[in-house]
Structure 1
Amino acid sequence: MKEWYLVWIEGPRGPEPQKWSPEGLWGQLWRQDVIVRFPLTDQEAKLPLDELARAHPVPK
């Protein structure tokens, strides 16, 4: 299975979670609004974004 990442970025109303594939990650490395990224297991990659955000909250 393709490797996925949960990425927290600075959004207009605060931190926002996004799910990125490796291709998306490499294409976005220049972005300065990325707070943190978490590599996901194959099982986690199948979960909806709201569940991933609860499992991997943005660091304070």
Structure 2
Amino acid sequence: MSNPPQKQDTGPATLGIHMKCCNVYIYARINAVKDAYVGWCPKCAKQVRINISKEGGSSSRFFEAN
């Protein structure tokens, strides 16, 4: 019996972001290309995009956006 193919781990699929524009918290989700986390403010529709770095990066799961 063979093992099923392993799924490549890309890390958590969301990041917590405090949108300072309207003082709300959102979860930015990983995009389809898996090169960035993207989210929008639910009040003013301002977009936030956090690119994924292949070398290093951050271990933080929460960020602030202006």
Under a length normalisation based on structure 2, what TM-score does the superposition of the two structures give?
0.31
For CA contacts below 8 A with separation 6 or more, give which structure has more relative contact order.
1
Greater helix proportion? 1
Under a length normalisation based on structure 1, what TM-score does the superposition of the two structures give?
0.33
